[in-house]
């Protein structure tokens, strides 16, 4: 009987030891799990923080990239506008070049008209206005000036330049000359000679003439002009600038 009691007591002690051991193991495992879980939450928080920082950095880079793309697009648009302006300028220059070439061709293929004629002595004074006839031919390309009538006749419609010089040496007298287009006086230049010396006047004008229009010089009444052999003080000149 006593042996049975001792055996029963021994079994209970072993059971208590097993229970205590199991409890201890349970507590250890629970602590390890809590520690592991705590460590796991810390790692996740750190990773989430790093991820948020990365996302913010990516957003900032995206914003900068969008701004750069906007600038690049603006520059591309500006380059396109400049290219368009350059194309327009090239077309205009090409048109001007073609016009210049056409004008040059017309001038090259058009009529050649130029003359310079001179008086050879004193003319006047007359009691009426008279046409000046310049007998000395210096140049008469195109033969548009008539040495018998003193009249230049436009061979083609165009723009012409005319110029004249006049001189006289009579003291206390008027001198000068007038330029006419058809029957209309265009200009008159004159002077009163105060001294016993050479008095000069000159002028020039650009005229648009139709084919057949005439230009000539006239000496006003009581005026005189004088030349001395080859001095050519009195010159009447003109030439075609361009035809139309």
H runs (alpha helix) in the chain: 2-109
pLDDT, tens digit, for every residue of 128-176?
A: 999 999 999 999 999 999 999 999 999 999 999 999 988 877 666 777 8
pLDDT at 172: 63
The third-level CATH classification (topology) of the domain covering 114-243 is: Jelly Rolls (2.60.120)
pLDDT, tens digit, for every residue of 183-230?
A: 999 999 877 666 666 677 889 999 999 999 999 999 999 988 888 877
pLDDT, tens digit, for every residue of 53-106?
A: 888 888 888 888 888 888 888 888 888 888 888 888 888 888 888 888 877 676
Collapsing DSSP to helix, strand or coil, 171 comes out as: coil
Q: How far is CA 202 from CA 165, 178, 190, in A?
A: 4, 10, 9
Q: How far apart are CA 163 and CA 168, in angstroms?
A: 18
Query: Would the pTM of this model clear 0.75, i.e. be above it?
Result: no
Q: How far apart are CA 219 and CA 168, in angstroms?
A: 12
* Cα–Cα nearest to 209, from 154, 166, 148: 154
pLDDT at 6: 47
């Amino acid at each position: 009987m006593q042996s049975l009691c001792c055996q029963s007591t021994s079994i209970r002690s072993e059971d208590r030891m097993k229970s205590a051991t199991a409890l201890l193991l349970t507590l250890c495992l629970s602590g390890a799990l809590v520690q592991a879980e705590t460590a796991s939450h810390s790692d996740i928080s750190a990773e989430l923080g790093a991820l948020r920082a990365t996302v913010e950095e990516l957003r900032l880079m995206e914003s900068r990239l969008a701004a750069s793309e906007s600038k690049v697009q603006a520059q591309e648009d500006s380059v396109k506008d400049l290219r368009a302006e350059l194309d327009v300028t090239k077309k205009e220059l090409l048109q001007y070049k073609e016009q210049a070439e056409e004008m040059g061709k017309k001038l090259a293929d058009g009529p050649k008209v130029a003359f310079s004629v001179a008086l050879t002595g004193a003319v006047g004074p007359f009691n009426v206005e008279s046409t000046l006839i310049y007998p000395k031919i210096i140049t008469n390309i195109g033969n548009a000036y008539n040495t018998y009538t003193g009249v230049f006749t436009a061979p083609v419609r165009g723009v012409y330049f005319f110029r004249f010089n006049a001189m006289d040496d009579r003291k206390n007298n008027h001198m000068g000359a007038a330029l006419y287009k058809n029957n209309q006086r265009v200009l008159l230049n004159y002077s009163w000679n105060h001294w016993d010396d050479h008095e000069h006047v000159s002028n020039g004008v650009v005229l648009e003439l139709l084919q057949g229009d005439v230009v000539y010089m006239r000496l006003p009444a009581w005026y005189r002009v004088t030349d001395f052999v080859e001095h050519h003080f009195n010159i009447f000149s003109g030439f075609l600038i361009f035809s139309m």
